Amino acid sequence: MGDRAAKDALYDGFAIVAKALASGRRSEIIDVLGQGERSVEELASEIGQSVANTSQHLRQLIAAGLLRTRRDGNRIYYATASPRVHELWDALRTVAADHVAQIDRLAADYLGDRTGLETISRDELARRLRTGEVVVLDVRPAAEYRAGHIAGARSVPLRNLHAELAQLPADQEFVAYCRGPYCVFADDAVRELARHGHTARRLEDGYPEWARAGLPTEV
């Protein structure tokens, strides 16, 4: 029969993971790593922190067993330890959206007004891809596209979209996707396409959710 001290120690062990994610910047690191491995410099740029601060966050995530590393020459790359880490992040995000009252307001402050932005489900997009009914645009940075993307998607990073509009077929429907349900790139891409007369929707979430659902991907 276990005693109180042993039970406390066990539950404190479980809480190590929660403590590691008890920072918006560390949660954002997990979100970014859902797109593929990154160096500390790349992560620092993504989360708007110094390399020193980002390194501290990475050490805490490694200590909790949430990340693994790979060395390539003098550079170290970071990745999540397993797909379960992203499942945990998805669950945390979903629970927060369902039960934390201000999440909707915070999301609206960041993403802007989503009224009029149509979405498409993963299953519906997979079906329409098979029949060639849509053109899928991956509007994430090119490095993320190279690390993995929806099969058949075209890489058009958001910052390049305006310059490439003239090359897009006028008679096709477009679906834009990016990193996940709280990624602003796809929203902005759909708005830009609509302003230029294209029919466009955004995927309901993003590439990590598509890949974890076992839907077709390419590297």
pLDDT of residue 1: 60
Cα distances from 98 to residues 58, 204, 209, in angstroms, run 28, 17, 18
pLDDT of residue 87: 93
- The Cα 53–Cα 44 span in angstroms is 8
Q: Is residue 170 within 8 Å of residue 95, measured between CB atoms?
A: no
Q: Which structure tokens are listed for 102?
A: 């201000």
Q: Which residues have a catalytic role annotated? A: 178
Q: Where in the chain is the domain with CATH 3.40.250.10?
A: 112-218
- The Cα 50–Cα 196 span in angstroms is 38
| Number of DSSP helices (H) and strands (E) in the chain, helices first | 11, 10
Per this entry, what is the length of the chain?
219
pLDDT digit string, tens, across residues 133-182? 899 999 999 989 998 999 999 999 999 999 998 888 888 899 999 999 99
Q: Which of 55, 17, 21 is nearest to 38 (CA)?
A: 55
In the numeric block, the tokens 């708005």 are attached to 191
- The Cα 70–Cα 33 span in angstroms is 13
Q: Where in the chain is the domain with CATH 1.10.10.10?
A: 4-99
Residue 41's SS3 state is: helix
Q: Which structure tokens are listed for 107?
A: 């999301």
Handedness of CA 217, 213, 34, 70 (dihedral sign): negative
pLDDT in tens, the chain (219 residues): 678 999 999 999 999 999 999 999 999 999 999 999 999 999 999 999 999 999 999 999 999 999 999 999 999 999 999 999 999 999 999 999 999 989 989 989 988 888 888 999 999 999 999 888 899 999 999 989 998 999 999 999 999 999 998 888 888 899 999 999 999 999 999 999 999 999 999 999 999 999 999 999 998
Cα distances from 26 to residues 48, 200, 215, in angstroms, run 12, 33, 28
Task: Tell me the CATH architecture of domain 112-218.
Answer: 3-Layer(aba) Sandwich (3.40)
Residue 64's SS3 state is: coil
pLDDT of residue 169: 85
Task: Tell me the CATH architecture of domain 4-99.
Answer: Orthogonal Bundle (1.10)
CB atoms within 10 A of CB 162: 11
